[in-house]
Amino acid sequence: MAREGVADARVGCGALVRRGDGRIVLVCRRRPPEAGHWGLPGGKVEWMETVEHAVRREVAEETGLVVRLSRLLCVVNHITPATAREDASHWVAPVYLATPITSARALLCEPDALSAVRWFALDDLPTPLTLATQVALRALAET
């Protein structure tokens, strides 16, 4: 239960989508938090929606990709204090490892929220990367 004047943590989700050639899809965020950073496709879990459904929905909404979820890769705790530009935020986000089911052609489907969608080799990633992406890449390397 939220206390008056205190926000609760929000639930997000994401996917590290990897093609057969090992490349991963990343999106460049236009909006806070982490505007201008490259990150995993994902977003918030809607009321009464399963996390797995939210991951598949968010990936499709942002990139046009239909994905199969392989397994839970990690859980990201994204806590940012308030700054002059952004309010404080607290997101808890399960991140799944996923693969495209059909075409691996990623599209920019939400140009208001994202400035680019591209595939990258793991040894040639753009910068800066979102916190969730950094945590997910560390988890992937540990498996």
Going along the chain from its start, the domains and CATH numbers come out as: 10-138 (3.90.79.10)
Q: How far is CA 111 from the centre of its chain?
A: 16
Q: What is the pLDDT of residue 89?
A: 81
Query: pLDDT (tens digit, 9 = 90+) per residue, 50-83?
Result: 999 999 999 999 999 999 999 999 999 988 877 7
Q: pLDDT digits over 77-131, tens only?
A: 988 877 767 778 888 999 999 999 988 899 999 999 999 999 999 999 999 999 9
Per the rule left: phi > 0, alpha: psi between -120 and 50, beta: everything else, 49 is: beta
What does the chain look like in DSSP terms, one character per residue? -PPTT-PPPEEEEEEEEB-TTS-EEEEEE-SSSSTT-EE-SEEEPPTT--HHHHHHHHHHHHH---EEEEEEEEEEEEEE---SSS--EEEEEEEEEEEESS--------TTTEEEEEEE-TTS--SSBPHHHHHHHHHHHT-
Query: pLDDT tens for residues 20-34?
Result: 999 999 999 999 889
Rounded distance between C-alpha atoms, residue 134 and residue 74, angstroms: 11
Of the listed ranges 4-8, 23-27, 57-61, 137-141, the least confidently predicted one is 4-8
Residue for token digits 């890449």?
137
pLDDT at 1: 42
